[in-house]
Chains A and B, each alone.
Chain A
Amino acid sequence: MKTIHIRQSFLGERSHELFTGVRIGVVGLGGGGSHIAQQSAYLGIGHFAFFDPDFLDFPNLNRTVGATLADANAKTPKVAVAERVVKSVNSDAEVWAIQTEWQKDFDSLRACDAVFGCLDGFSQRAQLEESCRRAMIPLIDIGMDVHKGDPYSISGQVVVSMPGLPCFRCVGFIRAKDLDEEGRRYGVAGGNPQVVWSNGVLASTAMGIFVQMLAPWCPIRSGSRFIGYDGDGFTLEHDSRLTVASQTQCTHFTSISDLGDPFWNP
């Protein structure tokens, strides 16, 4: 184990080997994804696939970890900012900085051992989950919202979609009516309010779940994770919908045809 990781040796003798050997995907390198990239680098993850078509701009500077004023001026690609952050901690890391929509590079996504979804919108999340399920990749989704009202309210969630276990639909995280509503509002959403601290809470929680998945430091309960974040009361709690869903089998990704490449050709 390298000296740099000696303080996390409680994660197990093989933890460093595991971290350097895996590839994580991060889809969306904005407020949430930039935290994930930074923490993964400190953890010692060795291989990365970053997906984001966007450039860094001034409205992103309030929450994108590692971004600078110069990046906003130069319109640096967000994946390039994340790559720079990772390489500044671990120059040996292999980074695929993919400046395009993740749907345009399935081959890179499928090469990941775990994926962090840091996307806006239910439709994108549903698509990403389906793609991850096809390649049997655990997906850890994070997201937050600032709800406009009187007063404002902050909430969010960390949800894990683990192959073989209840999916986002099973636990009620993605519902048909949310997808319909989103479809109706398509193109008029505008920029939602986002803040750095709640993204940090959610990303840190997601990273803890990922580490527990890879190198558990204590006995862990099997099953999925659906953790709700109350950004007004500063609490994280297991969502009760998962308690119900975890008693059942996933009913959405069960068939053998839900796996693999539907257009396979050697």
Chain B
Amino acid sequence: MNVHFKLTVALLGGIVADLRRPHPFAAERAGFIGCKVSRCRDGLLVLAHTYMPLPDDWYADDQRFGCVFNSHAMRAAMQFALTNDASMFHVHLHDHKGFPWFSRPDIRESARYVPDFWNVKPMLPHGTLVLSADAAAGLCWYPEINKPIRISRITAVGFPIRFLGGSF
């Protein structure tokens, strides 16, 4: 299945600006994006709408990892999914140029918490994104498919349109 993730240029700018803010102790920041989905002829569209930044005190102080968020973060993201009938995508930033990819802990941990969103929205896909300074990559968990699907295309819609990853 082709998964095409879209967000506006303005939303992308806001997300990157938030994720670049230094945190008192965490090496990286993270957030969640509330999305809607739609079928299209060649696959699935995931359409980003709302960025949920994580307040400083929703991070756990665990120096083994760049970023660990606590239960407040998951609770808030799940509540957003429930209230808005939304797909939820975790997002973080590897602030270099070129195509990013998830670290091993990223993949291991996201495989634990992303499927948790099915507890509140079992019919919707959920996932995780990693951004770089000029590109992006993502994984999507689709209902009733256990393994995550690599997002085939990520587009920032605006003037100009930016194709951040996947088939471009």
Contact = CB atoms under 8 A, between A and B. Distances in A.
Nearest to B49: A256
A37 B91 CA distance: 38
Interface in B22-39: 34-39
A162 B39 CA distance: 21
Chain A contact-residue range equals 35 or more
Interface of B: 6-11, 34-43, 45, 47, 49-50, 84, 86, 123-125, 142-144, 155, 157-161, 163, 167-168
Nearest to B144: A266
Contacts of A111: 40-43
A110 interface: yes
Given A164-B9, A213-B160, A264-B36, 5 more contacts: A136-B8, A136-B157, A256-B50, A259-B38, A264-B123
B161 A214 contact: yes
B40 A135 contact: yes
Contacts of B34: 256
B160 A260 contact: no
Nearest to B2: A111
Nearest to B84: A256
A223 B143 CA distance: 37
User: Chain A CB within 10 Å — which of B34, B43, B45, B159 has the most?
Assistant: B159
Interface string A136-170: 11100000000000000000000000111100000
25 contacts: A17-B168, A21-B163, A110-B40, A110-B41, A111-B43, A135-B45, A135-B47, A136-B47, A136-B157, A137-B157, A163-B157, A164-B8, A165-B158, A212-B160, A213-B159, A214-B160, A222-B9, A256-B34, A256-B50, A259-B35, A260-B35, A260-B45, A261-B37, A261-B39, A264-B36
Interface string A213-229: 11110001111000000
Nearest to A222: B159
Contacts of B144: 266
A115 B8 CA distance: 16
Nearest to A209: B159
B83 to A, nearest CB: 10
Contacts of A256: 34, 36, 49-50, 84, 86
B41 A259 contact: no
A18 interface: yes
Contact of B38 (A96, A138, A260): A260
Nearest to B87: A260
A110 B45 contact: yes
Nearest to A265: B123
A136 to B, nearest CB: 4
A134 interface: yes
A108 interface: yes
Contacts of A264: 36-39, 123-124
B159 A223 contact: yes
Contact of B39 (A107, A165, A213, A221): A107
Contacts of B40: 107-108, 110-111, 135
B167 A21 contact: yes
Contacts of B168: 17-18, 21
A111 B45 CA distance: 8
A135 B161 contact: no
Contacts of B159: 162, 212-213, 220-223
Interface in A105-133: 105, 107-108, 110-111, 113-114
Nearest to B6: A136
Given A164-B11, A260-B36, A264-B124, A216 B160 contact: yes
A260 to B, nearest CB: 3
Contacts of A221: 159
